[in-house]
Amino acid sequence: MYSRGNSPSWSKRFFSFFIFCAVLSGICFGLWKLEKKYYFFTDNHEYDLIIDKIARKHNIDPLLIKAVIWRESKFDVLSRGGKGEIGLMQIMPKSATRASVVEDWERATGNKITSEGNLFYPETNIDIGTWYLSKAIKHWPDYKFKEHLALCEYNAGKGNVNKWIRADTSKQIPPLEKDQSILKKVTSRDGNTYDRVIFPSTKLYVQAIMVKYHYYRSLENE
């Protein structure tokens, strides 16, 4: 009589299928969490030429600017922030009640923004944001990771960054996350500074941008 050998039982097949589904679900969940936290797979190449031209004009890495745009607006040119921020780099428009980056940019460049609608133009918006970030980097020439501090300034303002740098290092600031391996600590001749950032949202902001920035660099290297 012909023998087909020992075939796996239905219970073993079901168990193997269950394990496979569990592993696949775990992978999908991990990718979903990564996308939810960092919007890691959201990307766009529509503005690459503009970013490259403006970034080089202001002597800053185009990939860093692209990472900032990714974090600020996910490349949505019509994006509006909760506090009125506009466009790709979420530029705050001029206001009668507060100082504005737009006004500083106008004085520095001689250009004029005649209406809020001008800030939706990609080239204008990117130029203002890049000019400000380049200027912010120059605020911290003695710091090894001045780009991190500039990003803190872009998100929370120079006044807050100054306070954090001057903060007493003996004060206990709760860490953002247990694993900080993906983001190097900002260090200077005066000791750690990134650890003194007391806004969790700003730490997350810088962390997300630097992760995306290194991702872009890895793609370029390939």
- Give pairs for 143-146: CB < 8 Å, separation 24+: 143/186, 143/187, 143/188, 143/193, 144/186, 144/187, 144/188, 145/184, 145/185, 145/186, 145/187, 145/194
Alpha-carbon span 68 to 62, nearest angstrom: 10
Look at residue 16 and give its three-state secondary structure. helix
116's tokens: 């809020």
Residue the block writes with tokens 């809020």: 116
72 is catalytic: yes
Of the residues 35, 72, 123, 153, only one is catalytic, namely 72
Identify the DSSP state of 22. Answer: H
Give CA separation, 182 vs 71, 147, 204, 207, 220, in Å.
17, 15, 12, 8, 19
Catalytic residues: 72
